[in-house]
């Protein structure tokens, strides 16, 4: 990634983005809210902003949702 692309990505960062550390700490709660039909993004806007920007954390959420739904791994 070029310096310009890195800077551009930084400038596009949502100021509400809670970051990976906060996401990991609350991801299980966020997944439970989604699984019960609640608006998790409205309750945790910083986490929603982070999940929109961070592929690894979004993948973790997908895995948690599968676990909550009782889907087999993979």
Task: Locate the domains of the chain by residue range.
Answer: 3-68
Phi, psi for 18 (deg, rounded to 5): -75, -20
The pLDDT value recorded for residue 4 is 64
The pLDDT value recorded for residue 53 is 86
The pLDDT value recorded for residue 28 is 95
pLDDT tens, N- to C-terminus, the chain (74 residues): 677 665 566 556 777 888 899 999 999 999 999 999 999 999 999 999 999 888 899 999 999 999 988 877 66
The pLDDT value recorded for residue 6 is 57
The pLDDT value recorded for residue 16 is 84
User: In the structure encoding, which two tokens stand for residue 14, read together?
Assistant: 């949502």
Rounded-to-integer distance, Cα 13 and Cα 5, Å: 13
């Amino acid at each position: 990634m070029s310096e310009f692309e890195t800077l551009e990505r930084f400038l596009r960062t949502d100021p509400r983005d809670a970051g990976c550390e906060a996401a990991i700490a609350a991801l299980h709660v966020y997944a439970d809210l989604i699984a019960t039909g609640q608006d998790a993004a409205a309750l945790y806007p910083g986490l929603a902003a982070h999940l929109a920007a961070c592929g690894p954390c979004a993948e973790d959420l997908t895995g948690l949702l599968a676990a909550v739904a009782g889907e087999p791994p993979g």
